[in-house]
Structure 1
Amino acid sequence: MVTQANPFRSTRTAGFWLAAAIAALQGLNAVRTVLDPQGFATYMGLPVDQLSALGWVQVYGLRAGFIAVLTAVLLARSDFAALRWMALAALLMPLGDAYLAFSAGAGAPIVGRHLAIAVFLLVAALFLGRAAKAREMQP
């Protein structure tokens, strides 16, 4: 009796679900910057008190929307190697956010949240790398 190996299913990997969370959360951030830019700026630890500054919050939101769409496209293609590199490159954002929030006098909970996001991205990169290797091993 010949047994066949189980086919690779991307949705059965932790990397898939961590990347899906990245896409969903970035999409949520994009929506929040449109609906409540001032509230989102405060959430990020960089409150704005001038209407002219709210445009920059929405610029952030457009970029978050791009990240959400790009992540979704790479997920649909099961391109875990690209997602891994994207997660590693994305570390610049929460680390920069933590620095900016700290410099603006944000409290430890906000700075800590940014640092926790950086840890999340590192964990996601680890699992995405594993998923990429598992996918490569499939015939």
Structure 2
Amino acid sequence: MNTQDTSLTIKSPGFWMVALGGLLMAVNAVRAFNDPSAFATYLGLPLAAPGDAALIHIYALRALFIALLVGGLLVTKQRRALALLSACAVVMPVGDALLTSAAGAPTGTVLRHTAIAIYLLVTAFALWPRGAKVDAA
């Protein structure tokens, strides 16, 4: 019988790591809605024309969705789902790093995207319950 506690609590580092990520996505959503042009530049892909702001609004909606999803999974203590979400989300900052690098973004911007990918991997590792009995579906 496995007695290891695999619940997600406010005391666990994984809780705070994923909560910070969700909060930052919510902040990004607000920033992207409020000033699409400045946010596009922050991402490392400045808008070619002011009319392209709708693309940043689309990004903002998706960032808001991710923030709400993370919040809902945190409230319901879905540890494995949050671990899987964090691991799968790595594709976004890796893609961002590649796209911004190809677009000639500053090195700091590319490194920021890379650091986010690493943070997501560490978060996924911190959240994944080790030694836990896997539930049969």
Same fold by TM-score greater than 0.5: yes
> Which ranges of 4 or more aligned residues in structure 1 deviate by more than 4 Å?
none
Aligned to 2:24: 25
State the superposition RMSD in angstroms.
2.2
TM-score after normalising by structure 2: 0.88
Alignment partners' CA distance in 2, 1:95 and 1:131: 26
Say whether residues 1:10 and 2:15 are aligned partners.
no
Q: Which runs of 5+ in 1 are unaligned?
A: 1-5
Mapping of 1:76-87 within 5 angstroms?
A: 76-87=75-86
C-alpha distance in structure 1 between counterparts of 2:8 and 2:111, whole Å? 35
1:67 Cα deviation after fit: 0.2
Distance 2:119 2:31 in 1: 21
Q: Cα 1:9–1:89, aligned 2, differ >3 Å: closer, same or farther?
A: closer
Q: 1:43 to 1:131 in 2, by over 3 A?
A: farther
Shift of 1:132: 9.6
Q: How many equivalent residue pairs? A: 131
1:36 matched to 2:35? The reply is yes
Offset at residue 52 of structure 1 (A): 1.7
1:1-139 equivalences in 2 (<5 Å): 10-130=9-129, 133=132
1:23-78: CA deviations, max 9, x gaps?
Answer: 10000000001111111000000001312211101100100000000000000000
Query: SS of the counterpart of 2:128?
Result: helix
Letter in 1 for 2:108: P
Task: Provide the C-alpha distance between the structure 1 equivalents of 2:72 and 2:12, rounded to a whole number of angstroms.
Answer: 17
Instruction: Mark the runs of 5 or more structure 2 residues left unpaired by the alignment.
Output: none
Cα separation, 1, equivalents of 2:23 and 2:108: 22
Contact 1:79 1:132 in 2 (8 A): no
- Going from structure 1 to structure 2, the CA distance change for 1:132 and 1:90 (only over 3 Å counts) comes to farther
Contact kept? 1:13, 1:131, Cα under 8 Å: no
Matched AA of 1:119: I
Report which stretch shifted further, 36-45 or 47-56: 47-56
More helix by share: 1
Which structure: larger Rg? 1
